[in-house]
A and B are shown apart, each in its own frame.
Chain A
Amino acid sequence: MRPVKDKQFIHLTVNGETYDVPVKPKDTLLDILRDKLGLTGTKEGCDTGKCGACTVLVDGQAVRSCLTLAISVRGRIITTIEGLVEDKELHPLQQAFIEHGALQCGYCTPGMIMTARAFLDENPTPTEEEIKEAISGNICRCTGYSSIVEAIQAAAKQIANEAHS
C-alpha cells in the first residue's frame, strides 16, 4: 500500500461532475470545494464540526466537510448547495427558505438546507419535533429557527405533492 506524502491528483465527483484535483493529505473537503473548485456556497464557520455551516452530502449522507479529509472521499458522490438546482429550478427547500424568509444573514443557510435535504430523503413526512432535532447541529444566530422549521415543513409538503402529481 502506497503512502501519500505530497500533493496528488484525485477524482472527486461533485454535483454530477468529475474533477481531477491536486490534493494534499491534510486538505479538507471544505478547502477543496471552496478554494480549488470555486464552490463557495459551502461555508466555513467554526471549522470544528459544531456549527454545521459546512455541511455537504457524501453518498447522500450529511457530513461536515470541515472534518472530512478530501483524500478520504475519492470516488464518492458529493453534493453541495450548488448541486440542488435542477434545470435552473430551485430545489423546493431553497424555494421554501425564500418564501418563509428562513434566513437573515444567510451564512448558515447552505448547511441548513443540505442537512434538511438528507433528512427529508430519510423522513419525508417529519413532525415539527423531528425537524428541530434534525437541524439541532446547525447553528443559526439570526432567525430563532421558527421560520427555518416552517420552511422545511413546507418543502416536505411540496416534495410530496410533486411526487403525487
Chain B
Amino acid sequence: MRDFVYFEPKTISEAASLLARYKDEAKVIAGGTDLLVDMKHDRLQPKYLINIKAIPGLDYINFDSEGLRIGALATIRALEKSAELQQKYPIISQTAHHFGSIAIRNVATIGGNLCHAVPSADTAPGLIGLSASARIMGNDGDRVVPLDYFFTGSGKTVLKTGELLVEIQVPPMPANTRGVYLKYAIRSKSDLPVVGVAVVATMEPKQGLCRDIKIALGNVAPTPIRACFAEEVIRGQQVTPALIEKCAQAAADEAHPRPGSIRASPEYKKAMVKVFTRKALEEVLA
C-alpha cells in the first residue's frame, strides 16, 4: 500500500472541506473493507485519506412518520441486528444478514457499500425496491437523490467533489407490502452475488391483485438497475403463475451483464435473473 496523509475529521463540514480541497487525490474511508483492498492492490492510490468513521452521530437507525432514516455510518451488523428494522423493513435486515462475514459486517457501513458502487453491492437492490433516497451534503448545501439515480456507472455515483452521502431515507412500507432480496451466490449466501434480485410488492389482498411493484437487479449491469418493463407486466394485474413467468422473463431481458465477468457469463446471469425473479415474485406475491 502507498503512503498517504491521514485525516480524522469530527464533523461533516470538516470532511466536506477536506474533500473540496484535495479533490481527486482524496478518498473517504469508513469501514474500509472495500477501499483498503483496492489500495493494497494499487487499484486506488489516494494521497489523502479522510476517515469519517470518527464523526459522531452518523450511525443512527431512526424511525418516524416519514419512514426510516439510516445514517451513512450505520454498520451492516447494526442493520442486521436492529429488532425494529427486522420487524418494519425485514428485507433490509435480511440483506444485511447475508452480507459477508460477521467481522466484515461489524465494520462495513451502509454508506460505504453504496458509495463504493460496485454493481454487486448487496444493499442497493432492496433499497431501490423500497424507493429509498440518498441525502447528500456538501459545503454548498444538501440535496436528496432517489437511489435509482444515485449510481452512474461501475464505481461511480452522482456525488460531486466535496460531497458526502450522509443518510439513506426510506419511506414507510404501505399496508400489504412485502419485499425480498434474493441472490444467487456460488458457495454461500454470504458471498457476493452472481445476480441479486429485489422485489417489493403491494397486494390488494382480497382480489389477488398486485397494486404496485418494484423490481431491482444487482450485478447484471454497470449499476444496480430497475426492471421497469418487468414491473409493468405485473403492476395492476391479477397475479397468475403465467404472469409471474412472463414478468421473470421480462426481467431477464432487461438485464445486460457484461461479458468477461469473473462470476458468470452474460447468458448464465440472464438465466439466473429469470429463476431468482420468479422465486422472489412467488415469495412476495403469495
Contacts and interface: CB of A to CB of B under 8 A. Distances in A.
Interface of A: 1, 3-5, 24-26, 28, 47-49, 52, 55, 61-64, 67-69, 71-72, 115, 118-119, 134, 136-138
Interface string B218-250: 000000000000000000000000000000000
Q: Which of B2, B54, B107, B188 has the most CB of A within 10 A?
A: B107
B106 interface: yes
A25 B6 contact: yes
Contacts of A63: 103, 106-107
Contacts of B103: 49, 52, 55, 62-64, 115, 137
A134 B6 contact: no
Q: Which of A25, A68, A118, A138 has the most CB of B within 10 A?
A: A25
9 contacts: A1-B8, A1-B10, A26-B3, A49-B104, A52-B103, A62-B102, A64-B104, A67-B33, A136-B101
Interface residues of B, number: 32
A52 B101 contact: yes
B32 interface: yes
Contact of B51 (A5, A47, A69, A115): A69
Contact of A25 (B3, B9, B104): B3
Given A1-B9, A64-B33, A48 B40 contact: yes
A118 B104 contact: no
Nearest to B6: A25
Nearest to B77: A61
A8 to B, nearest CB: 9
Contacts of A118: 102
A67 B36 contact: yes
Nearest to A24: B3
Given A1-B14, A3-B7, A137 B106 contact: no
Given A49-B104, A64-B104, A72-B51, A1 B7 contact: yes
Interface in B16-69: 29, 32-33, 36-37, 40, 48-49, 51, 53-54
B100 A137 contact: yes
Given A25-B5, A136-B101, 19 more contacts: A3-B6, A3-B7, A4-B5, A5-B5, A26-B1, A26-B3, A28-B36, A47-B40, A49-B33, A62-B102, A67-B32, A67-B33, A67-B36, A67-B37, A68-B107, A69-B6, A72-B8, A137-B104, A137-B190
